[in-house]
Amino acid sequence: MNEITICTCWDGRDYYPVEYINKLYRAVQRHTTIPHDFVIYVGPESAGKTGGIDKGIRIVHVLMTSWWLVTKFWQPNPVGINTPSLLYLDLDIVILGSLDDLMLYRSDHACSREYPQAHVPVGEEVRAMKRGNANIGITLIRNNGGAKVWEEYVKAGSPMWDPLITRNRGQLPLAGQTIINDPKYGVKVDLFPDNWVCSYKYEVLKRGIPNDCRIVHFHGRPKQHEVPNLQWIKDNWI
């Protein structure tokens, strides 16, 4: 019996090719011993494009666009999820080590840290010191522990705007990560140990991969395919 659901999402646009989905799925299979389901939420723009997705992945069609798809995983009893726990993973990651500890982490709502204190980029110092400082790219939700994020999103009118065409936007209004990190919403969140998930551009490029790192997150740019000659990417993003 599956104990947890591994989740990701894809809006169907070319920003992430299908190979990103399948490489993530294969990496998960290599790096966990825990029985699990694997679910992907896909948006309307994926129509006619899902044929190449690995057959081991259960596809759930959701009427949301862009990254707003991920917000649906925070709703109580999310559609297509048949386990009390889920681990959400962004597509832009490379998995280097066991995911078991993340899946078994003692929290009902836990995220990776946005910026470990030693790597805070210039201009982000104040925000990085706020309570939370969470990055939702790797998130554990157990027993609907993140339901308040969905509640606040719906209360705000369930906005959906396109991050690929919005310019000079500053903070990302009503995105899940913004809701989690803004103290006014009162969302409880724990943070995974810093070394389990690290940022490629803010940590790896400066100091290398930390000991016991499980996931390297390629948030922003570059993405994995843009640095293909690194041996550890060749060995692990396959």
- What DSSP letter does each residue of 34-64 carry, written as one string? S-EEEEEEE-GGGTT-GGGS-TTSEEEE-S-
**pLDDT of amino acid 83:** 98
pLDDT at 233 over 60: yes
Q: Which tokens sit at 143?
A: 């027993």
CATH 3.40.1710.10 fits 4-236, yes or no: no
Closest CA to 20 of 45, 47, 57: 57
Closest CA to 138 of 110, 119, 117, 116: 110
Average pLDDT along the chain: 90
Delimit the domains of the chain by residue range: 4-236
β-partners of residue 86 are 5, 141
The pLDDT tens digits for 26-78 are 999 999 999 999 999 999 999 999 999 999 999 999 999 888 999 999 999 99
Q: How confident is the model at residue 129 (pLDDT cuts 50, 70, 90)?
A: low
**pLDDT of amino acid 114:** 84
Q: Above pLDDT 70, what percent of the chain?
A: 88
Q: Which tokens sit at 215?
A: 């996931």
The pLDDT tens digits for 183-224 are 899 999 999 999 999 999 989 998 899 999 999 999 989 999
Backbone angles phi, psi at 127, to 5 degrees: -65, -35
For the full predicted model, state whether its pTM sits above 0.85.
yes
